[in-house]
Amino acid sequence: MLRSGKEFRLRRLSLTGDKKYLFVPLDHSVSDGPVVPAAQWDDLLRALVAGGADGIIVHKGRARSIAPDILGNCALVVHLSASTACAADVNAKVLVGDVEEALRLGADAVSVHVNIGSDTEGQQLADLGTVARSCDMWGVPLIAMIYPRGPRIENPHDPALLAHLVNVAADLGADLVKTSVALPLARMAEVVANSPIPVLAAGGPPDGSDLIEYGRSVMASGCQGLAVGRRIFSARSPASLVSRLSAVVHGSGGDGDGNGGDSGTEPVTHPGGTTDDMAQYPTIVAGVA
């Protein structure tokens, strides 16, 4: 049977081949500011790979700076959308790259951000369609990061609204969709049941509670993965936390000590800004990512 390039690349997005995914978005440096000090960037990537992340998500310029030996089996996803927390409309996303450019950088997949309910929703949908067409042409998986954000959204955790959004992503050509979770969390199963493509839960629990238990609940709802950025790279031990989340996503539960047992709660910061673990990275201000 002939296989397409997209099939091979989709397989590389899941380390174990079970079609489940743990992605670590690191695109926050455009929206909010530095994820880590520049000197700690390579160490952070090595920690994510050591922990078993299936893929990282970065912008094109950052992708150019990654030494090929660092990622190992970890997939590279190049994010094509951008906006900053300084913008007049933080929900307005624009394309800042294309599929061909991402392929030249060695990307296994690309991602596009769309905010449904925003003032620029129409252009963002058009951009998603344009990228989807290029992805089909080049055999590249497309991850749609689609969220209910903007002045027309009353409840961003409404299951019916989220079910609508994941169908928008699928209908416009995405292969995977990353979106907000429904509340109560048990109703995320309704979103998954209505999605023709795999659903990834974005971020950690909205109330800041235990990330591992949240991950178990999300996966139990039928989601096929997690995309967690800030709660991982601001943890005391990113490698430990990724290891535990990977166990949750890929089916072994995440009950072990995780090389340190980091639960995903906020790290302890001591006077003067030091922390109780040299692997700690500073938490950035929550913004528009």
Q: For residues 238 and 148, give the distance between their C-alpha atoms in angstroms, rounded to a whole number.
A: 29
98: alpha, beta or left, given left = phi > 0 and alpha = psi -120 to 50? beta
Q: For residues 96 and 276, give the distance between their C-alpha atoms in angstroms, rounded to a whole number.
A: 38
**Active-site hit among 20, 21, 27, 158:** 27
Q: Concatenate the DSSP letters of all residues of 45-108 into one string.
A: HHHHHHHT-SEEEE-HHHHHTS-HHHHTT-EEEEE-EE--TTSSSTT--EE---HHHHHHTT-S
Cα angle at 225 between 223 and 228, to 5 degrees? 125
How many CB atoms sit inside 10 A of residue 94's CB?
14
178 annotated active-site: yes
How many CB atoms sit inside 10 A of residue 88's CB?
5
CA–chain centroid gap for 219, Å, is 15
**Active-site hit among 147, 175, 214, 281:** 147
Q: In this structure, which amino acid lies at residue 255?
A: D
Asked if residues 231 and 237 have their Cβ atoms less than 8 Å apart, the reply is: no
27 annotated active-site: yes
Tokens representing 277? 């673990």
**Active-site hit among 20, 60, 93, 178:** 178
Give the containing element (helix H, strand E) for 214: helix 211-220
Cα angle at 132 between 126 and 136, to 5 degrees? 150
Nearest one of 147, 145, 148, 150 to 131, comparing CA atoms: 145
Residues annotated catalytic, as ranges: 27, 147, 178
